[in-house]
Structure 1
Amino acid sequence: MTQLSRRRTLALGAAATGAAWAAGTVPAGATGTTGAAGERGASWTQLADVPPNTTDWHEAVPVGEPYWGQPGLAGPIAGTHGDHLIVAGGANFPEPARTATRTNTLGKVYWTDAFVLRRDGDDHRWLDTDLRLPDAVGYAATVSTDDGMLVIGGEGFRGGPAGTAQRPAEKFADVYYLRWNAGRGTLEREDLPDLPRPMSYAVAGIVDDVVYVAEGADFVALDLDRPDRGWTALPTWPGDPRTVAVGAAQDGRFYVMSGRAQHADKSWTFYRDAYAYEPRRHGWRRVADLPWCVTAGLAHAVGRTGIVVAGGDKDIDRWNLIEHHVALRNAAAPGSEEWNRHNDVVTWIYDHHTGFNVEVLRYDTRRDRWQPDGFFPGPPPATTPAVDWDGDLVVASGEIGPGIRTPRVWKARF
C-alpha cells in the first residue's frame, strides 16, 4: 500500500529459533460465549499469556529469578502483521511487594522487550525470541494494517528501559510501521513523518488509506499512500478536548468516544458523548451518547456497521476521591505525617479497587444506537489497544486496576 522515498529499516533483536515459548504460560484454548439472553455476544478464547520480560537492566527488578513472571503491561504496543501478533514495550510496577503508592526504587517502569505470537490455524504460540525495541515506549496509538503494525506517538524513555522515579518519561512524536520478518527472525521498523507534536494516549483509525489521530484538542491525518505530504491538521470534534478517549474507524467514518479531561479548577469530567468524522463531507456529527463512560477502554469494528467497546472506567466518584487525596498528598511535605495519611488513603482505595467496566457495548452505525452485548470474560482491561486480527478482536495484557496489570491475552469472534 505504501511506498516511501525515505525508508529506514531497523532490525531489532536476535534470530528466532522457530521454537515456541511455553514455560509459565496459561494453556491456550479456554473458550466461552458471554452474550446475554437474546444477544449475540462474542465467542472468547484465552490465548497463552504474554511471556516474562527478559531485559535484566536493574537490580530492583528480579528478571530471571525462579518466581519471575510477566506481571502484565499497561499501554503496550500491540498489533498484527500477517499471521503474527506483536506485543512490545508497555509499562508496569515490577518491583516485588512495591506498587504505585508504596515506596519503590524505580516508579513506573517502561520496557523495550518485544514478543511475537505465531498463528497456525487454531494454534497460537509465542516464539522463542530475544527482541528489543530501540526505545522504551508505552501508550502509543496502534493500528494493524497489511503493511504491518502502525505505531503512533507514545511515551517512555529513549535508549532503553527506565522508571519514572529515575527521571520523567517523555512523550514521542514517532510514527512508524513495525513488521515481523519471519525469515530473519527480526522486527523491522519503517519510519513515517513525525506527528505535529508528541502525543500519548491518542486514538487512531484508518479510512480509505488515511490514518486519523485524535488526542487532547488535536485532530490530524496522514495519507498513507502519500506520506511525503506530511500530517494535516483538521477541525476537531464539536465537543470538549479530552484524553484517554476511545476511537475506531467503521463504515467510512472515524469515531471518537468518551475520554476524560481535567479542568482549571482541578476537577475532572468523564465523558459519554461520541462523534463521527466523515472524510467525504469533511465534517463531524454528534452520534448517540454511550450509556456510560468508557475512558481508557478499547473499540473494535465488527462487520460493516458495528463497533464493540470493552473495558475502560466509568466510576467518576472513585476517580475524584483518588484525585482529591492525591492533591492533598502532593500539597504536603514528602514523608510527613500528612503526606503518609493521604498516601495511605490512596493505597487503600487502590487495594480495594473493584475493577473496570465488565459490560461490553455494541454500537450500530446505521441505527445510531448502543446496546449491551455481553461481558468481558476476565478482569476487564484499560489502556491496551484493540487489535484487529482478520476481523477478530485480540486484547493483549493491559491494566485491570490502579497499578495492577494482567498478562492475559484474549481473542474474541463476534
Structure 2
Amino acid sequence: MKLKAILSLAILTLGCSSPKKGASVLWSEPAKLPNDLHGREHIGLAGPVVGMLQDHLLVLGGANFPNGMPWQGGRKSYSDNGYIYSVNGSHLVLKQEFRLKEAVAYPANLSLKGKLYFAGGENQNGYVNQVSRIELSADGQVQQHLLSPLPVALSAGGMAYGNGRLFFIGGEGQYAVSDKVYSLDLHDPKAKWEEFTQLPYAVSHAIVVGDQKEKIYIVGGRKKNPNAVSEMYDNVLEMELLSGKIRELTQLPKALSAGTGVFYESKIYVFGGDDGTTFKRVEAAILEIENREDGKIKEELIARKNSLQENHPGFSNENWAYDLKSDSWIKLSPFNGLSPVTTTAVLNGNQFFIPTGEVKAGVRTNQILIGEIK
C-alpha cells in the first residue's frame, strides 16, 4: 500500500540522492552464540527474544531447523534456551544460560527501564498470546513474570512504550493479519490489554520503535493474503499517543519487511530487511502448486520452488537512517556480509546489538552483530 503525495516523493528523492552528514554506524567484530556441549557451533535462531538489562544482553528462545530445511522435510524446532552476556564496550562475555518457562519465537520485544517485555509469538503448538516480563535479581538470577495476555494470539507484531503504557502493534494471527493497536497500562497491575486504535492497514513483520514518550513509528512490514502473494510495505507511520492520530511520513527507499531498527536522537535506524524479491516468487510458486491437479506438473513446480529457496541470495544488506527533523532518508554503509532478518536490534547507549536471525531462507546465523552510532 502506498499513500504517496508529490511533496513526499520530492522529499524522498532529495533524501536518497544527497546523503547528509550526522548519521553513521561503526561496526565491531561480531560475537557468537555459544557452542553446544559437544563443541559444535550453534546454527542460530530466528525470532529470538532480545533485550538489554543492566548492561547485560539477553538472547532467549527462537526457532531453527536442526534436521534439514523445511523443503527437505525438516521440522521447525522452537527453543526455550536463554543466554545472558555481560557487555563491556564491544566485548561480550557469556555469563549464564537458563531456560524460559515455555519455548517461544517471533514475539514482539521491548527493553524498558531495566526490564525486558515480550508479547505474542509462536511455538510448536501454534500462535500464542502470552506476555512476559523478565528482570534480573540482585544476584543475577532470571525472574520471569507473566502479565495480562493479549486479546488475540499474534506473532511477528511490534511493541513500544509511551505515556506509561505498552503498545502492541499488528501481528499475524491464525486467520488474518492484525490492523489493531492494543495498549496495557503498566501502572495498574490488574490492567488488561485494550484496543487503542486501528492502523490504516493490517501489518506484520514491521520495525516498531518509539521515543518512549509520545510517539511510535511503524516502518515497512508485510501482509499475508489468502490465495495471493503477500503485500510488502514501504510506508512509515507516526502514531501520536495523546490523540491516537496516525500520519504517513516519507516512504522507505524500498519496501522492506522483517528488518531491524532502533530509535536514537530523532532518527530511525533501519538495518537490512527482506525486499520480497525471492519471498514473492516462492509464494507465487506455492499458490500455483496448490491450484494444479496434474501430479507431474506439481512435481516440476515443487522442484522449481525448492530451487528458489535453496539458491536464496540473502536479504537486503542496505542500512538507512530516517531523520525526523529533515523528513529524509540517509543511506548508511551496508552490512559486510549476510544481513540478518526476523530478529531484534537493541540499544545500549549509542551502541546496539543484532543477535542471530535468518540470513537466507531457512538458514540462521550464530553471529551477534555489534554497531555504534556515530
Q: Is the 8 A contact 2:47 2:105 kept in 1?
A: yes
State the 4+ residue runs in structure 1 displaced beyond 6 angstroms.
none
Which string of whole-angstrom CA distances, capped at 9 and with x for unpartnered residues, describes residues 230-272 of structure 1? 22212222x2212111211037310112111233441322111
Give the distance between the partners of 2:97 and 2:216, measured in 1 at CA.
Answer: 36
Give the AA of the match of 1:103. G
Q: Are residues 1:327 and 2:295 paired?
A: no
**Number of the residue aligned with 2:10:** none
Cα distance in 2 for partners of 1:134, 1:223 equals 24
Do the aligned partners of residues 182 and 354 (structure 1) sit closer, same or farther apart at CA in structure 2, a change above 3 Å counting? farther
Aligned-partner residue type, residue 243 of structure 1: S
In 2, the alpha carbon distance for the partners of 1:89 and 1:333 equals 39
Q: Which of 95, 99, 108 in structure 2 is aligned with 1:132?
A: 99
Is 1:178 the counterpart of 2:138? The answer is no
- SS of residue in 2 equivalent to 1:135: coil
- Separation (CA, whole Å) in 1 of partners of 2:290 and 2:354: 35
Report the equivalent of 1:206: 161
Could you tell me how far apart the structure 2 residues matched to 1:209 and 1:131 are? 30
Number of matched residues? 347
* Change in CA separation of 1:390 and 1:282 when aligned onto 2, cut-off 3 Å: same
Residues of 2 paired with 1:74 and 1:113: CA distance?
13
1:24 alignment partner in structure 2:
none
Q: Distance in 2 between matches of 1:153 and 1:315?
A: 24
Match of 2:72 in 1: 102
Deviation at 1:397, TM superposition (A): 0.3
Q: Residues 233-248 of structure 1: matches in 2 within 5 Å?
A: 233-237=195-199, 239-248=200-209
Q: Distance in 2 between the 1:139 and 1:133 partners?
A: 14
> Matched residues in 2 for 1:402 and 1:410: separation?
19
Please list every run of 5 or more consecutive structure 2 residues that lacks an aligned counterpart in the other structure. Answer: 1-18, 171-177
1: CA distance between counterparts of 2:23 and 2:52? Answer: 26
CA displacement at 1:287 relative to structure 2: 1.1
- Please tell me whether the aligned partners of residues 363 and 371 of structure 1 are also in contact (alpha carbons under 8 angstroms): yes
Partner residue of 1:310 out of 268, 271, 284: 271
Q: How far did residue 340 of structure 1 move?
A: 3.5
In structure 1, distance between residues paired with 2:45 and 2:193: 30
Instruction: Find the counterpart in structure 1 of residue 3 from structure 2.
Output: none
The residue number in structure 1 matching 2:12 is: none
Query: Which residue of structure 2 lines up, in the alignment, with residue 301 of structure 1?
Result: 263
- Distance, in Å, in 2 between the alignment partners of 1:65 and 1:347 is 31
Provide the rounded CA distance (Å) in 1 between the counterparts of 2:90 and 2:202. 42
Confirm or deny that 1:77 pairs with 2:46: no
% same residue:
23
CA–CA distance in structure 2, aligned partners of residues 120 and 181 of structure 1? 20
Task: Give per-residue Cα distances to partners, 1:171-213, cap 9 Å, x unaligned.
Answer: 1111121123362x53211222111111110011112332211
Query: Which residues of 2 match residues 15-414 of structure 1 at below 5 A?
Result: 40-52=23-35, 64-65=37-38, 68-95=40-67, 98-104=68-74, 107-127=75-95, 129-157=96-124, 169-181=125-137, 183=139, 186-215=141-170, 216-237=178-199, 239-250=200-211, 252-303=214-265, 305-316=266-277, 318-331=278-291, 337-414=296-373
1:142 CA displacement: 0.5
Residue pair 2:222, 2:231 contacting (<8 A) in 1 also: yes
Q: How far does the alpha carbon of each residue in 1:311-347 deviate from its partner, in whole angstroms, 9 at most, with x for none?
A: 111134x32221122223345689x544442232122
- The superposition leaves residues 45-88 of structure 1 with CA deviations (integer Å, 9 ceiling, x where unpaired) of 23420114x5xxxxxxxxx445x321110000111111211101
Report the Cα distance in structure 1 between the residues aligned to 2:250 and 2:120, rounded to whole angstroms: 29
Q: Could you tell me how far apart the structure 2 residues matched to 1:287 and 1:122 are?
A: 34
CA distance in 1, matches of 2:117, 2:279: 32
Q: Matches of 2:285 and 2:133 in 1, distance apart? A: 41
The answer to whether the 8 A contact 1:150-1:176 is kept is: yes
Distance 1:83-1:347 versus aligned 2 partners, 3 A rule = same
SS in 1 for 2:252: coil
Please give the alpha-carbon distance, in whole angstroms, between the structure 1 residues aligned to 2:297 and 2:135: 50
> In structure 2, do the counterparts of structure 1 residues 405 and 264 end up closer, same or farther at CA, with 3 Å as the change threshold?
closer
Distance 1:354 1:123 in 2: 30
RMSD of aligned alpha carbons? 2.2
1:128-171 CA distance string (max 9 Å, x none) = x44111211000001111231111111104xxxxxxxxxxx411
